[in-house]
Chain A
Amino acid sequence: MTVMKKPETLKEAVTHYCPGCGHGIIHRLVAEVIDELKIREKTVGTAPVGCAVLLYDYFNCDIIECAHGRIPAVATGIKRVHPDLVVFGYSGDGDMAAIGTAEIVHAVNRGENLTFIFVNNAVYGMTGGQMAPTTMLGQKTTTTPYGREIKEAGYPLRVSEMLATLDGACYIERCAVNNAANVIKTKKAIKKAFQNQIDKKGFSIVEVLSQCPTNWGIATIKSNEFIEKEMMKIYPLGVLKDKGD
């Protein structure tokens, strides 16, 4: 029987995440990958503004907390100074789909050798459940009380598809953590995204569809179904770009 241990890359800490939140799962997957690749002591993480801002309280590696949306620029600065370190970004949908769109587009376009985890939960969690650009049509949030309507708030933004059109993108895959099978697939994708950086292949992004039962206003089990039935219709899983070798 295999006894599951806490990854060395995770600190002994209780997270502040809500019950049923996907961040805890995704943190663990990233930490397991860093352990398995034996890169903890040469890894620098860049923490976002959003629910994952306290990344440094949970991750046992060098971390810098960035201004909202600026992670790709900060990560660029670190990586260019230390090309042999492994630098990863951990972003939400505010960072990647709204305030930091310029930074992510250009970091990808420059082909920076970085690894990004993009957690898409279709809502702004930390600020209390406002609309994100990734919020789905009809979805109720604290700033779309009648549900997101096209005429007022436009369409859900597919960031990964958009970034996949850029020549600088090496590998982009969309995964989900709504069930065990998808969690395993997500880990595989994250591992590949880190390995790509070690192999100096360029920009890799793993978008992860993640639960936010608190701000969706639904039960935790239902939120797993919500990812499957609602989010995957707009954000289908799969590899969007893979330059391979």
Chain B
Amino acid sequence: MAEKVLMKGNNAIAEAAIQAGCGFYAGYPITPQNEIPEYLSKKMHDIGRVFIQSESELAAINMVFGASAAGARAMTSSSSPGISLKQEGISYIAGAELPCVIVNIARGGPGLGNISGAQSDYFQSTRGGGHGDYRLIVLAPSSVQEAYDLTMKSFDLADIYRNPVLLLSDGYLGQMIEPVELKEYKKPNNLPAKDWALTGCKGRKPNVMKTLYLVPPESLIKHNIHLQEKYGRIKKDLCLYEEAETKDADLIIVAYGIAARVCKGSVLKARKEGIKVGLVRPITLWPFPEKIISQLADKAKKFLVVEMSMGQMVEDVRLAVNGKKPVEFFGKAGGWIPSLDMVLEKIKELK
């Protein structure tokens, strides 16, 4: 087994970004994600890559817009209120079809909320977040190791689909220290050439990066259809989830991120007591793993969605279950985290 090192979730994300060839980072400090810019400020500098502490989140995401347009692997990170500020830029990046990685170490909201981990940004993450019909690829880790692995994957997916990728973690995972295997980054061989990048038009026609489609009048409709076709391709290609004890389960728990990790413990404990319960943990929040949930809805009797929010992903589960079985919700927003026993109690209540 490869050697493991103890690492904070935020530092693991930063290290993975460096390994994956992130050439440009811009961000503005906000708790609980500050370890990411702090880590990168030194390491990026030491290896001759670009780190900028920007004047605002608006500036940070627009610097990323420029850096990505120039062909670099670019990343920004923030936490919930800061991610709200970045939405304008994210809409432009999605509209211009540029790759980039956005990390949200989510905290409680609305407003300033607090600095505890939370899962209240699910709607914002999976529905686009800013104005216009667009989608982000959204990946949700549930351990420090997975945060490391998915950060690397985020850069690849962004490049493959020319689309922003959001790594949706939370304050608990960001601050948690766990052993991590610092796997070597392996560049996929299907990365498309960035022939669209702004590099000066020597020997070619000028490249234009834009999101305004005025004439002919149908050009914006065409652009939106083109984007939808891409999102359709992504939905077909990409679906990551973890399944545990679902085969004969009467009750299926659906949870993601740190909440899912707690739920897994509850499921295993319930199994020891003979309760037929299983877990589905979506890793891609968009595209949402609706197929597996729909299939399980044919066999299972009931679903329970556990979230550290007032109920957001539960809507996607209900869409996937499509009325076939009842879908219950258990969760609170504002820094609440379920305990193994709390979920176990809920399981017993519903079985």
* Residues of chain B lying within 8 A (CB to CB) of residue A82: 70, 199-200
User: How far, in angstroms, from A76 to B55 measured CA to CA in the complex?
Assistant: 12
User: How far, in angstroms, from A77 to B62 measured CA to CA in the complex?
Assistant: 8
* Residues of chain A lying within 8 A (CB to CB) of residue B52: 76, 80, 110
Determine which of A43, A53, A56, A76 lies in contact with B63 in the assembled complex, contact meaning CB atoms within 8 Å. A76
Cross-chain contact A63 with B55 (CB below 8 angstroms)? no
Closest residue of chain A to B88 (Cβ to Cβ) is A67
Interface: A25 (CB within 8 A):
no
Interface: B69 (CB within 8 A):
yes
**In the complex with contacts A60-B206, A63-B206, A65-B210, A77-B67 CB distance below 8 A:** yes
* Interface majority SS (helix, strand, loop, mixed), chain A: helix
**In the complex with contacts A62-B208, A103-B58, A81-B201 CB distance below 8 A:** no
Taking CB atoms and an 8 Å cut-off, the chain B residues in 309-350 that contact chain A are none
**In the complex with contacts A81-B23, A81-B72, A74-B66 CB distance below 8 A:** yes
Q: Interface code A104-118, partner B: CB below 8 Å = 1, 0 otherwise?
A: 011000100000000
Distance (whole angstroms) from the CB of A169 to the closest CB of chain B: 16
* Residues of chain B lying within 8 A (CB to CB) of residue A227: none
Taking CB atoms and an 8 Å cut-off, the chain B residues in 33-79 that contact chain A are 50, 52, 54-56, 58-60, 62-72, 74
Size of A's binding interface in residues, CB under 8 A:
37
* Residues of chain A lying within 8 A (CB to CB) of residue B200: 41-44, 61-62, 82, 85
Q: How large is the interface on B (under 10, 10 to 19, 20 to 34, 35 or more residues)?
A: 35 or more
Determine which of A43, A75, A105 lies in contact with B66 in the assembled complex, contact meaning CB atoms within 8 Å. A75
* Residues of chain A lying within 8 A (CB to CB) of residue B212: 53-54, 65
Cross-chain contact A40 with B201 (CB below 8 angstroms)? yes
* Residues of chain B lying within 8 A (CB to CB) of residue A76: 52, 59, 63, 66
Determine which of A41, A47, A53, A74 lies in contact with B62 in the assembled complex, contact meaning CB atoms within 8 Å. A74
* Residues of chain B lying within 8 A (CB to CB) of residue A54: 212
User: How far, in angstroms, from A147 to B210 measured CA to CA in the complex?
Assistant: 36
* Residues of chain B lying within 8 A (CB to CB) of residue A47: 210
Q: Which 9 A-B pairs have the closest CB atoms?
A: A77-B66, A73-B62, A77-B67, A74-B66, A106-B55, A70-B62, A41-B202, A81-B70, A42-B200
**CB-defined A-B contacts under 8 Å, sample of 22:** A41-B200, A41-B201, A43-B200, A44-B198, A61-B201, A62-B206, A62-B208, A63-B208, A70-B59, A73-B58, A74-B62, A74-B66, A77-B66, A77-B70, A78-B69, A78-B70, A80-B67, A81-B24, A81-B71, A82-B200, A105-B55, A106-B55
